[in-house]
Chain A
């Protein structure tokens, strides 16, 4: 059974890179363009792991993570933050919102897959 990854990122470039990387690694990938859409598709997508950007229109990554954690069904789903923000403050906020881990952009495909495997069974 393929593991399902929901990616949330407003950049078409990054979305495509994620798609290629994840598909090549044998994941099923579902994509959303911002936090609002991410929450909308969450139920139907029923992912095993979520990878999300922080800076997004409408609803940013922090808000999105909080939204996911409020959902009884997904409150313990692994969420990886994918962002160029590596400074401690942002990482801390993401963690407080409930992020499981993070991947620093520009992501290296191996590191992305490693991180996903570290948080999924």
Chain B
């Protein structure tokens, strides 16, 4: 694993943390006051900050830091998480998400917005925090960096948007006032080091500290054992020794002190710079020292015993050959140490235990595993092959087995059942809850509510409804546009709502549910509903309909899906983006879905989208065109009909129309468009598939015959061959033949005079 992979993991983790952050903040917004919720929110930001620091993502770190500081005020009950506070925090979460995206994908963030939120967050942290309560950050780091000048010091430290919390200055000299006069040009120091018992209980070891010190330069050590009591009075874990070290180093006093960084509270330490030639300091005379031969290299080989203090004593005592009492004591405890080591001596057992840990870890983590999407896709592909293979096998058995009741046939049916189950199970691996998309919508609602000055509440239902990941990924964009429209055009301004007897706060509701093998997503608002008069007038102005056209309410409502349609009186921030409902409709259709609107004046509108659960298989109508087998996605087909000669009308030189229930619909010969044949076939001999095209109008696609309906596994042409105009993908039929899946929109577009250039050779190969 290299740093890039870890970085990728970091961004994945960020996404999870951001989702956690948002849902936590929303829970707080709903009145949840569980301290664990606040903690989880804090941890999410903290985690992002920590990881970002590791990758030097400074913008992310500094924003996360300010955010974290304010959250810490909430965590420590210095700041009440009111609606106003949470509003700022939710917006901050959005900015944090933006910064994360920019860090990953490049681009730029709205600097003004993030600067504004930093100010708001700082104000919150300041405004509510009792000035004395805030713990000052490490002085060494905070003081020179504290932001705009005349604030009370502790608050400035807490709110400063710098990364003071990260500076690797982890120790403070302030406790050792008066010693800064150390002079570097005399690189000799006298160190008096007298550990307290606490030093050992916290897992530090005098031996190791001295070893570390010895790495700085040439040194001599004197050990003072005067305070060692007789054996019967000795506490084997107490600290009795002190050391005096003379060291010559060019690393400076800081380096010497850094050695004792972890121990500074648990020992008496003096570091005194001595002038060359000058004698020991006055303290050294009070503490008579004896020279101790001290073999530091031996320490490296010494296995680490849990009771470090005794081991330490043993070293010194043995070398000295004077304090026999200590030796005896150490032997006693050494045995105890051996006993404890013996318990885990077997390395193999330890490794097995570690493996077991991992297993436990996996089961503890909510029974989920992370799998590379590629692996799942490969599996799906293989299952696709299996389905095809099974179908081919069935077909050849049927062809060779006239009575059709043999045991092979029975076995094949079971195989078919199993294959289908495997296919469903594999598809389920890719299925994901729509929750992340719905959560993103919460953000969209907040932003638009802000821009439009409306008060909006988003209610979501069925967030755990699952659908294929590809569908989810492609759902976000159309949903965003629809939410924008719902808030921008659907909901009224608060005054208007109150005047209409509604609550000032508008509600946008987003629900997801499964219905007959598809996912249905509904977006409803309790706004004014579609203003049909206005829509109609607009459509007339834009030449979409004739001034005297007689349209049903439903037809008028559906006009909003026409390209370039906008009813907003003024171009707001949102509609200025030039995205209309026609784009939404097209992207939903590209997913094999449909979208409908129903609206009640004064009560609001409901958009209903129905989408396939997966993009890996498709329900298709298998048709024959000029001897070729093609598959037409079932979702595109409105109805099929057998044209009557009387219903066909010529129009211009080559165009023909079919009259269906008193309206005319252009006929499109699929075989001609795809260049399967040079002249148009006689419509009366074929079948017309009525399809809905992206403009909302209908076309009748002429094919020669319908073979049947079936579920097909989609095989990308781009991945296996190259893009072919008019063809969306390919599939393999039960008899092993390749059939092309028709791109209905492209064929319809081609019929309007944008010719497709399809090589005849390929068409023949199909």
Kindly list chain A residues whose C-beta atoms are within 8 Å of the C-beta of B3: 20
Residues A12 and B13 in contact, CB atoms below 8 Å apart? yes
- B298 to chain A minimum Cβ distance, whole angstroms, is 11
- B307 to chain A minimum Cβ distance, whole angstroms, is 6
Assembly CA distance A86 to B10 (angstroms): 22
- Which of these, B43, B135, B172, B265, contacts A55 with CB under 8 Å? B43
Assembly CA distance A121 to B204 (angstroms): 10
Assembly CA distance A100 to B40 (angstroms): 27
Kindly list chain A residues whose C-beta atoms are within 8 Å of the C-beta of B193: none
Closest chain B residue to A101 by CB distance? B262
A45 within 8 A of B: yes
Residues B304 and A48 in contact, CB atoms below 8 Å apart? yes
- A3 to chain B minimum Cβ distance, whole angstroms, is 8
Residues A87 and B135 in contact, CB atoms below 8 Å apart? yes
Also in contact, A10 and B43, with CB within 8 A (given A76-B307, A107-B54)? yes
Residues B308 and A14 in contact, CB atoms below 8 Å apart? no
Residues A11 and B47 in contact, CB atoms below 8 Å apart? yes
Assembly CA distance A87 to B136 (angstroms): 7
Residues A10 and B47 in contact, CB atoms below 8 Å apart? yes
Kindly list chain A residues whose C-beta atoms are within 8 Å of the C-beta of B302: 121
Kindly list chain A residues whose C-beta atoms are within 8 Å of the C-beta of B40: 57
Residues B304 and A120 in contact, CB atoms below 8 Å apart? yes
Kindly list chain B residues whose C-beta atoms are within 8 Å of the C-beta of A69: 201
Residues A100 and B202 in contact, CB atoms below 8 Å apart? yes
Q: Which of A20, A108, A117, A121 has the most CB of B within 10 A?
A: A121
Assembly CA distance A48 to B137 (angstroms): 32
Assembly CA distance A16 to B360 (angstroms): 18
- A54 to chain B minimum Cβ distance, whole angstroms, is 9
Residues B204 and A119 in contact, CB atoms below 8 Å apart? yes
Assembly CA distance A55 to B205 (angstroms): 27
Closest chain A residue to B57 by CB distance? A106
- B15 to chain A minimum Cβ distance, whole angstroms, is 11
- Which of these, B204, B347, B357, contacts A45 with CB under 8 Å? B357
Kindly list chain A residues whose C-beta atoms are within 8 Å of the C-beta of B344: 46
- Which of these, B1, B54, B343, B357, contacts A41 with CB under 8 Å? B357
Residues B135 and A30 in contact, CB atoms below 8 Å apart? no
Residues A20 and B300 in contact, CB atoms below 8 Å apart? no
Task: List A49-93 residues whose CB lies under 8 Å from chain B.
Answer: 55-57, 69, 73-79, 84-89, 91
Task: List B328-373 residues whose CB lies under 8 Å from chain A.
Answer: 340, 343-344, 347, 350, 353-354, 356-357, 360-361, 364-365
Q: Mark B207-242, 1 if CB is under 8 A from A, else 0.
A: 111001000000000000000000000000000000
Assembly CA distance A106 to B2 (angstroms): 17
Residues B354 and A121 in contact, CB atoms below 8 Å apart? no
B725 within 8 A of A: no
B131 within 8 A of A: no
Residues B167 and A44 in contact, CB atoms below 8 Å apart? no
Residues B137 and A118 in contact, CB atoms below 8 Å apart? no
Closest chain A residue to B65 by CB distance? A84
B641 within 8 A of A: no
Residues B53 and A20 in contact, CB atoms below 8 Å apart? no
Closest chain A residue to B139 by CB distance? A88
B165 within 8 A of A: yes
Q: Mark A27-50, 1 if CB is under 8 A from B, else 0.
A: 000111100010011001110100
Also in contact, A14 and B262, with CB within 8 A (given A121-B208, A121-B299)? no
Kindly list chain B residues whose C-beta atoms are within 8 Å of the C-beta of A14: 50-51, 54
Closest chain B residue to A42 by CB distance? B357
Residues A104 and B47 in contact, CB atoms below 8 Å apart? no
Residues A86 and B39 in contact, CB atoms below 8 Å apart? no
Closest chain B residue to A20 by CB distance? B1
Residues B208 and A104 in contact, CB atoms below 8 Å apart? no
A17 within 8 A of B: yes
- B213 to chain A minimum Cβ distance, whole angstroms, is 10
- A100 to chain B minimum Cβ distance, whole angstroms, is 4
Kindly list chain B residues whose C-beta atoms are within 8 Å of the C-beta of A73: 306, 340, 343
Residues A105 and B205 in contact, CB atoms below 8 Å apart? no
Also in contact, A16 and B9, with CB within 8 A (given A44-B356, A55-B43, A101-B262)? yes
Q: Which of A20, A115, A118 has the most CB of B within 10 A?
A: A118
Kindly list chain B residues whose C-beta atoms are within 8 Å of the C-beta of A19: 1
Residues A105 and B166 in contact, CB atoms below 8 Å apart? yes
Residues B135 and A89 in contact, CB atoms below 8 Å apart? yes
Residues A44 and B172 in contact, CB atoms below 8 Å apart? no
- B311 to chain A minimum Cβ distance, whole angstroms, is 8
Closest chain A residue to B364 by CB distance? A37
- B46 to chain A minimum Cβ distance, whole angstroms, is 5
- B23 to chain A minimum Cβ distance, whole angstroms, is 15
Assembly CA distance A73 to B344 (angstroms): 11
Closest chain A residue to B51 by CB distance? A13
Q: Which of B202, B302, B307 has the most CB of A within 10 A?
A: B202
- A33 to chain B minimum Cβ distance, whole angstroms, is 7
- A42 to chain B minimum Cβ distance, whole angstroms, is 10
Residues B262 and A44 in contact, CB atoms below 8 Å apart? no
Kindly list chain A residues whose C-beta atoms are within 8 Å of the C-beta of B261: 101
Assembly CA distance A65 to B30 (angstroms): 35
Residues A13 and B201 in contact, CB atoms below 8 Å apart? no
Residues B46 and A13 in contact, CB atoms below 8 Å apart? no
Kindly list chain A residues whose C-beta atoms are within 8 Å of the C-beta of B51: 11, 13-14
Residues B203 and A78 in contact, CB atoms below 8 Å apart? yes
- A111 to chain B minimum Cβ distance, whole angstroms, is 7
Residues A118 and B208 in contact, CB atoms below 8 Å apart? yes
Closest chain A residue to B53 by CB distance? A106
* A residues neighboring B (CB under 8 Å): 1, 4, 10-14, 16-17, 19-20, 30-33, 37, 40-41, 44-46, 48, 55-57, 69, 73-79, 84-89, 91, 95, 98-108, 111, 115, 117-121
Q: Can you spell out 6 A-B residue pairs with CB atoms less than 8 angstroms apart?
A: A20-B6, A46-B353, A76-B306, A88-B135, A88-B137, A100-B204
Give me the 3 closest cross-chain CB pairs, A-B, nearest first: A101-B262, A44-B353, A106-B53
Other A-B pairs, 19, CB within 8 Å; known A12-B12, A44-B356: A1-B347, A13-B9, A13-B47, A17-B6, A55-B43, A76-B200, A76-B307, A86-B166, A98-B202, A101-B204, A102-B170, A104-B167, A104-B170, A106-B56, A106-B166, A115-B262, A118-B209, A119-B204, A121-B205
